[in-house]
Structure formats: structure tokens, C-alpha cells
Amino acid sequence: MITFYNRNETDFTHNGIAVLDNYIINPVVCEEVNGIFSLEFDFPLNAPYADELLQERIVKCPVPEMPPQLFRISEREAGLGGTFHIVAYHVFFDLTQNFIEDTFVVNRSGDYAVTQILGAAQFPHPFTGGSDISTVNSARFVRRNIVEAFLNGDLGNSFLSRWGGEILRDNFRIEMRRVRGSDNGVSIRNKKNLTGYRSNVDFGTVVTRIMPQGFDGLFLPEKYIDSPLIEHYLTPRIRVIKYEQVKAAIGMYADDEDALPLGEALELLRKLARDEFSVHHIDKPNASYFVEFAPLERTEEYKNFAVLESIAIGDVVKVIHDEDNLDITARMVSYKLTIANGFITNAMIADATIQSAKIAAIDAGKITTGTLTAARIGAGSITADKLATNAIQVGLEGWTNSIRISPTEINWYDGTSLQGKIQADGLYIYNGSSHIGTFAGSYAVESTSIRGISMHLSGGGSFISFGYRTGSSGTFSTVLVLDPQAKVRSQAGFHLGTDLCTNGFNFRSSGNRIVKMTDLSLTTGGTTLGTFPAWGSDSGRARIAFGTDHLYLVSNNVFCTVTSVTSRISELITRVNQLITRLNNGWVISATGTTSSYSGTGLTVMGTSLTT
């Protein structure tokens, strides 16, 4: 039974606003391990409750191996034939709207980490959670939404990257399991319940020869590590793999605490490269099998054995097709199920990770995904005029919110939020409907005949920054920020986060006059005072140099210290004051006599308070 509720409903034990079973068309649930969990369906425009299926309302729908789950409506799109299309995401994704400002999980288990992440939310929510992962680790979550904090494995600080695991989403309960599913000996076989399959074997990712590279260009003397399977391919498949964490105690790094003796560093590089073959199996092609099957509980012949043959996400299953000699054991990492009258009528195993396989022969005509050779695609058979908007959608099976391709642009999404698009005139960055900025080719303001590359910040964006990090994970250090509205820094403008190196180039005024930052060597009486940084004119004959203790002034290539100038001026002022004192006493009577003041001279007494 499929029902729906108001967006703020908290009690889901009743049937809500209405039961949709008599009107809903082709409801499909998709779930991927640590990925999307969605519900999509069509609905007649003239059916009861059509006007009430609105964004943010909640639909309750049956799913495999769990109680009915809650999905929040995200998209309502007009369709053909008097229907509209609904896309809803599991209520877990409500947490994309919640925010962690800053929380640091220090040396804790997975269970403690789940609790701390949920507890650090910016505003209250109904979610609880736990984990069976006993691994102790640490991670700091700064300015991340909660879904990112759990599932974004590309972040150095996320639950997946630090503790691993697989998420179980049961309405408002979140469990980070060490692994989901089990091996119950379930098999899917043709002439029993296998209704179809497609295979995709991708050789493009195979590597059989690695050149390992350590920190700061550290390489092996023998250069390469070869796979035991290198002879299985026509030519070696070579890749440079960087291991920035491997630093040798040589040269300027000889005293670094994290540096290893050279021999140990080289041996670690060899081990890491060999692990790519023995642990990560990059010397074998990636294989995926999309398997369609009918659940046995819906077949008369096997209905009494259905409990033995049910599968859930994460389970290991055996797929057998006798005529094609297909015999693989694989783990179901995603599914797509179609629901009719509340019952699951078929499901799909998608993107299965092959654990073992025995493939004697497969008809190439049945390989409908993967690399297509020129012999399989006729020239001009796919043209832009045959593509409707979003005709090509790349991402999870049955999920349209990843990458959408039309004849004029490529759009990519994070869930339902537009993140960017590529058009003929450039790259546009978005945050939902808000345009942040553009990176594009453009013409100069001064002349349309001058063309270059421009980076523009739009009204929806606050800053442009440049940053770096030394490793493959962790936070980036900001080196330059353009903050025109003073939203990041206290003042609007460009802000540096590192040294500015001019490398001998000039600074120019609006009138194209030059000031240089140079090094200046000073010598006096055959003694070298040192080499100091200096600002100077284009000719170099007038400069101001900054010594260790003195400020030097250079005029027409003659220099003196500011200290000596101020000392001479101070001495001169002292002498002038003494002279004024004597003049104030009157005229000089004789060279050998004394002075006295004559009141009839008409002179007044001058002040002697001049200072430096």
C-alpha cells in the first residue's frame, strides 16, 4: 500500500491524506549502497488527490526487507498523456538541509561518531543513529551538511573516508553498518527466475605497470613495479601513482619527523605499488552485470520456497545462464524494483562487484554497455537533432539527478540541486537556482578583437579563492581571496594568504611609470654591509633599502642611512639654537670682550625651542 501525508506529519501509523494504489502508475524504488534512495511514479492529472501531490509532502511506500519507507517529494514534472511525474527522495536526505558548523570527533568508534555527527546539527531533527563499527578514528567536520558528513567519500573528513561502512536508512533511523547483506546461497537462474541480463566489462581502467612516486618526486631506482598479469595483455598498461605520504629523509627533509630512511621509503613505495595489484586488483578489468529477475514468491512453481530465495541489498547472489556459460557470484550493491498493487514484481541487480566469475563465452551482441567500437556504431547514426533535452542521462540506474546532457548543454546535480552547466560560451557554477559565477572565454572591454579567458563572480557568489594542500586529503590552505563584498574578510578587496613574489617584475602606475622591488648590495670603504630588499626607480639610481637595523636612502647611486641624516639634522638644530641664544643677548662689542643686551636696537628675543 502506498499512502501520502502532509509535509509536517509525525505519525505515520495511519493512512494519511489518502491511499494512492488505485491511481498510481509505474512506481519504482531505487537504492544504491551509500548512494541514492528514491521513489518515482506517474500520476493521472484528473485522478483524485492529483492536486495534493505537492513538493515536500511525504509518500510511504513498501521496499525490500524493511518496513515501508518514507520519501519526500522533490520534483513534480508535467508528462505526456494527461499525467505528471513525481520524484521523491528518502527522508534521510532531509539532512542535506541541516548543517554542521564545526565538530571534532577524536579517537572514537563508529557508533560514537554517528551520535556526535547527528548531535552537531545546526537545528533539531527527528533522526537517531548508531553503528556496529568498532574502529577508532578521528575526523573534523567543518561547514558540512549532515549527508555529506556521512556519505561523501571524496572528503578527507567524512564518516566513509575515516570509518568506512555501509548505510542502512530506515525512515528516521540511520545505521552505519560494517557491511550490509549476507551470503544465503541465493541463485538466479535462467528457466527459473532470471529474465534477462546485460554485461559490461571495462578494460579502460586496467593497469599492469606502476611507476610509484613518493613525496617531492621520489622514484624507485628500477622505476616500475609490474603486475603478475602483465603478460595477459598485448602491451603493458602504465600509470604513475603518487604516494605523497612516503617521504625520504634526504636533502632538505633529512630532519623531518615524518621522513623515513631512504631504503625504508623505497621499500614502502614497492609495497604500496604491489598492493594495488594484490589488494585493489587494478590489473583486472571492472565488470558489471545488470540482472533482471522475477521474485519466486510471485511464481506458482517456487512459491513455497520464496523465503529461501529472497535477497536484499548487499547480499551475495549467484547468477547462472546455462546457454551463455555465464556463472558469476556477485554482490548486489543497488536495486531497482517496480511495485504493482503494493507487491514487488521484479527487481534489478545493478553495478554488481564481481567476487568470482567463470565466463566461457558471451555473445558480443549482448554487451550493451561499456566501450562501443566503430564497427558497432554506424557513421552519423547518433546526431544532435535526435536528442531531446536531457536525452542522455549519466548516473545511477533509473536516477536522473546526476549528469544531464542535451544538444546545447551539460548539467550536473547534487541530488536535486543544480551545481553547474557547460554551454558553448563557458562553464557556469550554480547553487540550486542561484548563479555563483562563470569561467569562460571572453572579449576585452577595450576591444572586441582581443579575446581571452575570464572568471566572473555573479550576484549569487560571495568570493573567489585559490588554495592548495600538500596531500590528497585534508583541508585546503587559502593563498588568495577576492572578496568584493567583505563577506569573508572584514575589508573588501584582494586578500593574500601567502608571500607575494615579484621575481624581479615591475609595479606600474596608472601613467605607466615603474617602481621595482629589487635586491641592493651596499659597500662602504671596502666593507660590504650586506644585500637588502629595496624599492627603486626604473633607472635604479634612486632607491629605499630595508637593512637589518637601518633604512638606507640612495640618491644618484650615493647612499646614507636615515639614522645618520637625522643625527646631523639634530646636531644642526642644537647649534642653531645656541646661536640664537647668543644673538638674543645683544650685539658683539669686541672680539675679546663680553656681550651685553642693548635695549635700543629694536630686536626682540627669539625662541630657542626648536627640536628634531
Looking at residue 430, what DSSP letter applies?
Answer: E
pLDDT at residue 324, rounded to an integer: 54
pLDDT at residue 347, rounded to an integer: 46
* 434 vs 588, residue with greater confidence: 434
Share of the chain above pLDDT 70, in %: 73
Least confident of 193-197, 272-276, 333-337, 563-567: 193-197
Give the confidence band of 358 by pLDDT, cuts at 50, 70, 90. Answer: very low
pLDDT at residue 469, rounded to an integer: 82
Q: Is the pLDDT of residue 120 over 80?
A: yes
Prediction pTM value: 0.47
| Strand-strand pairing, 334-340 and 403-405 | unpaired
> Is the separation of the CB atoms in 506 and 514 below 8 Å?
yes
Cα separation values, 530 from 459, 527, 533, 552, Å = 51, 9, 10, 12
Give the confidence band of 47 by pLDDT, cuts at 50, 70, 90. Answer: very high
Bridge partners (DSSP) listed for residue 602: none
Q: Is the pLDDT of residue 64 over 70?
A: yes
What mean pLDDT do residues 33-46 have? 93
| Strand-strand pairing, 238-242 and 209-213 | parallel
pLDDT at residue 589, rounded to an integer: 46
Other beta carbons within 10 Å of 464: 17
pLDDT (tens digit per residue) in 336-352: 777 764 444 444 444 44
Amino acid in position 197: Y
Local structure of 589: helix, strand or coil? coil
92-113 burial: b if 16+ Cβ within 10 Å, else e: bbbbbebbbeebebeebbbbbb
Amino acid in position 448: T
pLDDT at residue 309, rounded to an integer: 45
pLDDT at residue 471, rounded to an integer: 75
Q: Is the pLDDT of residue 356 over 60?
A: no
Q: Is the pLDDT of residue 68 over 70?
A: yes
Least confident of 180-184, 314-318, 493-497, 597-601: 597-601
Residues 6 or more apart whose CB falls under 8 angstroms from that of 275 comprise: none
How far is Cα 56 from Cα 42, in angstroms, rounded to an integer? 17
Residues 6 or more apart whose CB falls under 8 angstroms from that of 573 comprise: 610, 611, 612
What mean pLDDT do residues 490-506 have? 82
pLDDT at residue 366, rounded to an integer: 40
How far is Cα 342 from Cα 336, in angstroms, rounded to an integer? 15
Least confident of 45-49, 68-72, 318-322: 318-322
* 293 vs 522, residue with greater confidence: 522
Its sign, for the CA torsion 229, 231, 234, 239, is positive
What mean pLDDT do residues 530-550 have? 88
Q: Is the pLDDT of residue 373 over 50?
A: no
Cα separation values, 363 from 188, 329, 373, 464, Å = 20, 20, 15, 52
pLDDT (tens digit per residue) in 260-318: 999 999 999 999 999 999 988 888 876 555 556 555 455 544 443 333 345 677 777 77
> Is the separation of the CB atoms in 142 and 158 below 8 Å?
no
What mean pLDDT do residues 489-500 have? 83
Q: Is the pLDDT of residue 611 over 60?
A: no
Residues 6 or more apart whose CB falls under 8 angstroms from that of 13 comprise: none
pLDDT at residue 383, rounded to an integer: 52
* 180 vs 294, residue with greater confidence: 180
What mean pLDDT do residues 134-159 have? 90
Q: Is the pLDDT of residue 258 over 90?
A: no
Q: Is the pLDDT of residue 604 over 70?
A: no
Tell me phi and psi for residue 319, to 5 degrees. Answer: -115, 125
Cα separation values, 140 from 153, 156, 388, Å = 14, 9, 44
What mean pLDDT do residues 172-185 have? 87
Q: What is the mean pLDDT of the chain?
A: 78
pLDDT at residue 225, rounded to an integer: 96
pLDDT at residue 439, rounded to an integer: 81
Q: Which helix (H) or strand (E) holds 571?
A: helix 562-584
Grid cell digits, residue 373: 567500437
Give the confidence band of 442 by pLDDT, cuts at 50, 70, 90. Answer: confident
pLDDT at residue 486, rounded to an integer: 83
Its sign, for the CA torsion 427, 430, 433, 435, is negative
Beta strands in 109-233 (DSSP E): 128-131, 137-145, 166-170, 173-177, 183-189, 194-202, 209-213, 225-226
Q: Is the pLDDT of residue 37 over 90?
A: yes
pLDDT at residue 541, rounded to an integer: 87
Amino acid in position 160: L
pLDDT at residue 357, rounded to an integer: 39
pLDDT at residue 193, rounded to an integer: 55
pLDDT at residue 118, rounded to an integer: 97
Compute the half-sphere exposure of residue 542: CA atoms within 13 Å on the CB side of its CA. 4
User: What Rg, from alpha-carbon coordinates, does the chain have?
Assistant: 38
How far is Cα 315 from Cα 182, in angstroms, rounded to an integer? 5
What mean pLDDT do residues 316-329 have? 63
pLDDT (tens digit per residue) in 415-427: 667 788 888 778 8
Local structure of 120: helix, strand or coil? coil
Share of the chain above pLDDT 90, in %: 34
pLDDT at residue 360, rounded to an integer: 36
Grid cell digits, residue 318: 549467484
Q: Which strands make up the sheet holding 238-242, listed edge to edge? A: 225-226, 209-213, 238-242
pLDDT (tens digit per residue) in 201-214: 567 788 999 999 99
How far is Cα 351 from Cα 399, in angstroms, rounded to an integer? 14
> Is the separation of the CB atoms in 41 and 87 below 8 Å?
no
Beta strands in 171-307 (DSSP E): 173-177, 183-189, 194-202, 209-213, 225-226, 238-242, 286-293
pLDDT at residue 489, rounded to an integer: 78
pLDDT (tens digit per residue) in 450-474: 878 888 887 777 888 888 887 777 7
279-308 burial: b if 16+ Cβ within 10 Å, else e: eeebbbbbbbbbbbbbbbeeeeebeeeeee
